[in-house]
Amino acid sequence: MTFLTTGLGAHIRSASIHGKVRGGEHSARSVLFLIALWLCLFVAFGVLLTLIITTLIDGFSRLDSRLVTEYPASAPERAGLRPAILGSIWVIGATALLTIPLGVAAAVHLEEFADRKKWFNRAIELNVQNLAAVPSIVYGLLALGFLALLGVQNKNIVIGGALALGLLVLPVIIISTREALRGVPLEIRQGSLALGATPLQTVWRQTLPASVPGIATGAILGLSRALGEAAPLLVLGALVFVSFDPNGLLSGYTTMPIQIFNWTSRPQAEFHELASAGSILLLLILLAMNGLAIFIRNRYQQRW
């Protein structure tokens, strides 16, 4: 306890702890910074709120059962989103089937088996990170080029759209799967291997099952992003006036964002109402998907 007898110790003991600390949270700079933060929040939140409220007001009158049961028509009062909803389900379903196995497999390889010291594994890693930030239309062009290379004439097919959206979602799934795998403690892998399990058995029976909540969350968030995309599908020549139900991977299709895009470009105000109603429906679906992702994460996430 010798330090108490030094000058410093004496000073600490004699000073009162009352009063405000200089540069603390009540100084002018701190308050100013706090106001700036609040302002940013208000601007972002305000814009979003205005958008949602105006859309709600515009589209509320058309938010009825006809919206989901009717086909598009030249008369706005008879028009609906039925083929677009079915088209979205087909395209997103195909995208999920295409990308989830591929993305999970890629992530498992990168995380569990790839030698991190090899330069090409590091290059792949860096590229996956970068691909997640590429604008979606680029993937549309890529899919277009790929289909042309295969000699596909009619590119407005479900599988074509799924290909473009799959490229968009793939990096998101790979990154979130790797995060989930990394969350599984090393002890679990060691415990499994010490019992004489092979590395592959360890992945299949321990690491991967333990990562399912994280993988599901990432996949749902990725797919919900794809659900709202119109640009890559427009590049592929997605139809805007579909009066039939899509019925297979090679069927023509339209999706909800494309239909909404088409309606907003019509001159009649009634079509704008329809577009708003469609937007509300799309928003609700996205909200439900994100809600499901949060539910899965909270309900099944393993606390180690």
Partner 1 sequence: MPTKTRAASYTTGSDQKPTIHFPAEHAERSAALPTVPNAIIECKDVNVYYNAFRAVTGVDLSFGSKEITALIGPSGCGKSTLLRSLNRMNDLIDGARVEGSVTFQGEDIYHKEVDAIEVRRRIGMVFQKPNPFPKSIYDNIAYGPRVIGLKASNMDDLVEEALTRAALWPEVKDKLKQSAFGLSGGQQQRLCIARTIAVKPDVILMDEPCSSLDPIATSRIEDLMYELREDYTIIIVTHNMQQAARVADRTAFFTALASEETGDRTGLLVEYDLTKKIFESPADQRTEDYISGRFG
Q: Rounded to the nearest whole angstrom, what is the least distance from the CB of residue 192 to partner 1 in the complex?
A: 7
Rank residues 180 and 223 by Cβ distance to partner 1 and give the closer one: 180
| 46 near partner 1, judged by CB under 8 A | no
Q: Is 35 exposed, middle or buried (0-12, 13-18, 19+ CB in 10 A)?
A: exposed
- Is residue 140 within 8 A of residue 164, CB to CB? The reply is yes
- Residues 192 and 63: their CA atoms lie apart, in Å, by 54
Q: Which is nearer to partner 1, 176 or 202 (CB)?
A: 202
301 binds partner 1 (CB under 8 A): no
Residues sharing a CB contact under 8 Å with residue 276, sequence separation 6 or more, in sequence order = 55, 56, 58, 59, 62
x-marked contacts with partner 1 along 210-229 as a string, rule CB under 8 A: x-------------------
> Smallest distance from the beta carbon of 128 to partner 1, in angstroms?
22
Q: 276 in helix, strand or coil?
A: helix
Position 64: which residue type?
D
Does position 118 bind partner 1 by CB under 8 A? no
267 conformational bin, left if phi > 0, alpha if psi -120 to 50, beta if neither: alpha
Q: Looking only at residues 174 through 213 of this chain, which bind partner 1 when binding is defined by CB under 8 A?
A: 185, 187-198, 201, 205-206, 210
Which is nearest to 111 in space by CA: 259, 2, 214?
214
Residue 161 contacts by C-beta under 8 Å, 6 or more apart in sequence?
A: 91, 94, 95, 232, 233, 236, 238, 253, 255
Residue with Cβ nearer partner 1 (115 or 149)? 115
- Site track 59-98 with partner 1 (rule: CB under 8 A), x = hit: ----------------------------------------
Indicate the residue among 184 and 242 with the shorter CB distance to partner 1: 184
Residue 121 or residue 156: which is nearer to partner 1 going by CB? 121
Site residues, partner 1 (CB under 8 A): 117, 185, 187-198, 201, 205-206, 210, 302
